[in-house]
Amino acid sequence: MTSPTPRLGVAMIGHSFMGAAHSQAWHTAPRFFDLPLDPVTAVLCGRDEGRTAAAATRLGWAATETSWERTLERDDVDLVDVCTPGDTHAEIAIAALRAGKHVLCEKPLANSVAEAEAMVAAADEAAEHGVRAMVGFTYRRVPAVALARRLVEQGRIGEVRHVRAQYLQDWLVDPEAPLSWRLQKDRAGSGALGDIGAHIVDLTQYITGDRVQEVSARLETFVKERPLATEQSGLSATASTERGAVTVDDAAVFIARFGGGALGVFEATRFATGRKNAIRIEVNGSRGSLAFDFEDMNVLELFDATEPAETAGFRRILATEAEHPYVAAWWPPGHGLGYEHGFTHQVVDLVQAVATGTDPAPGFRDGLQVQRVLDAVETSSDTRTWQEIHP
């Protein structure tokens, strides 16, 4: 008789947009992937008892708590999944690690470099006792993106010279869109920069295997005042008659130099009218180029400069073959994956790291490094100077 797969009790703090995406991943991962541990959606924690209970029923959690401190004391919890706004990441994650719980923390890791440093210190200490910490940059786990990384690693595009990255959304174009927590510096840390710019910093560093070393940036807040939000759910909110100041950036643009010498151009905005969730990355190397667009997320474009000029050209690789990262567990070729699959792959990689006693990637140190880039971008915009990112 084979012994049952050991249980991994999961508690999730927060149950809005990211909470729903993470819940789905915790349920789906063990159904499609052969995992060494069995994740059990044990406890959902939220501030409001009624709403948390309703969310637990809808999202499939066995029990609820209204205090994260109490959640950390529970013996049926081995891992804490932090899906709250950024202002609570550091406090919850550090306490969870000290309580001996593995942690998955939504991006950006924190609201400041100082908080992220404290989180890294807690994660380093916890790692000595076999406790693991991961930051949720899920888009790394889109098969076409993971394939891009593999091709760069294999040298298929040679030496990287240019990196072009955009993250474009438009949910704030309407000046009457309410002032939700994502528009408040004390809650979110920054605006488009931290919320979506953080993703493209991580993605470009992941794909190239290099690090942003210097930046020159400009942030802008186009709409300075908005109606306060009453009810909030995901990216939607209900407007009150009162108004308040927007304290974060609406858009961030910056140019960068990577450690290996490549030049980068970055753009993160919630004002790209008509663009809903467009993450576009192009990398040009000495032997070829790669291009990815999340709006066509199952495709990676490759230009191979070693092919004869007569027939060379960008070709679309449909990253839905069993040979492509993560795909073997899913559907037959051509059937495609969506937004939610990145979260499932994140759970798979985290559970494997916990079971094998290895550090998951991206870990808190990677989250801290992205935080340093975000911080340098803000300082550069404030001071109108180039800023270096110190390791």
Alpha helices (H) in 179-296, listed in sequence order: 185-188, 192, 198-208
Q: How far is the CB of 62 from ligand SOE (least distance, A)?
A: 26
Q: How far is the CB of 124 from ligand SOE (least distance, A)?
A: 26
- Kindly state whether residue 267 participates in binding ligand SOE, applying the rule CB under 6 A: no
Among 103, 163, 183, 196, binds ligand SOE (CB under 6 A): 196
Q: How far is the CB of 364 from ligand SOE (least distance, A)?
A: 17
CB of 14 to ligand SOE, least distance (A): 12
Our separate counts of H helices and E strands in the chain read 11, 17
**DSSP conformation class of 43:** E
Site string for ligand SOE, 122-161 (x = CB under 6 A): ----------------------------------------
Kindly state the smallest distance separating residue 277's Cβ from ligand SOE, in Å: 6
* Nearest-angstrom CA–CA distance, 109 and 56: 25
Least spacing, CB of residue 50 vs ligand SOE, in Å? 25
Choose between 196 and 348: whose C-beta lies nearer to ligand SOE: 196
Residues 211-250 that bind ligand SOE (CB under 6 A): 235
Assess contact for 318 and 334: CB atoms under 8 A: yes
What is the C-alpha to C-alpha distance for residues 326 and 67, in angstroms, rounded to an integer? 36
One DSSP character per residue, 74-87 reads: -TT-SEEEE-S-GG
Any residues with CB less than 8 A from the CB of 222 and at least 6 apart, and which? 250, 251, 271
Q: How many CA atoms lie within 13 A of 217 on its CB side?
A: 30
Which residue in the set 17, 181, 222, 386 belongs to the binding site for ligand SOE (CB under 6 A)? 17
Q: Which two tokens stand for residue 72?
A: 């950390």
Nearest position to ligand SOE, beta carbon: 195
Cβ distance to ligand SOE smaller for residue 254 or 343 = 343
Classify burial at 165, counting beta carbons within 10 Å of its beta carbon; exposed 0-12, middle 13-18, buried 19 or more. Answer: buried
Question: Nearest approach, Cβ of 195 to ligand SOE (angstroms)?
Answer: 5
Q: For ligand SOE, which is the closer residue by CB, 195 or 267?
A: 195
Residue written as tokens 């340093």? 372
Q: Of 232 and 277, which CB lies nearer to ligand SOE in the complex structure?
A: 277
Per-residue burial over 274-297, b if 16 or more Cβ lie within 10 Å, else e, is: ebeebbbbbbbbeebbbbbbbeeb
Contact positions with ligand SOE (CB under 6 A) in 353-382? none
Residue 6 CB, shortest distance to ligand SOE, in Å, is: 31
Q: Is the Cβ of residue 17 or residue 330 nearer to ligand SOE in the bound state?
A: 17
Determine if 195 is a binding residue for ligand SOE (CB under 6 A).
yes
Q: Which two tokens stand for residue 91?
A: 């406090």
CB 147 within 8 A of CB 302: no
Q: Which is nearer to ligand SOE, 195 or 349 (CB)?
A: 195
Q: How far is the CB of 373 from ligand SOE (least distance, A)?
A: 16
Residues 155-194 that bind ligand SOE (CB under 6 A): 169
Measured from the Cβ of residue 383, the count of other Cβ atoms closer than 10 Å reads 10
Neighbouring C-beta atoms of residue 128, cutoff 10 Å? 7
**Closer CB to ligand SOE, residue 187 or residue 257?**
187
Which residue, 41 or 190, is less far from ligand SOE as judged by CB? 190
Select 77 or 183, whichever has its Cβ closest to ligand SOE.
183
Binding residues among 23-82 for ligand SOE as defined by CB under 6 A: none
Return the number of the residue (169 or 205) whose C-beta is nearest ligand SOE. Answer: 169
Min dist. Cβ of residue 138 to ligand SOE (A): 7
150-156 long-range Cβ contacts below 8 angstroms, 24+ apart: 150/325, 151/290, 151/300, 151/302, 152/207, 152/208, 152/209, 152/283, 152/285, 152/290, 153/209, 155/287, 156/287, 156/288, 156/302, 156/304
Sites of contact with ligand SOE (CB under 6 A)? 17, 169, 195-196, 235, 277
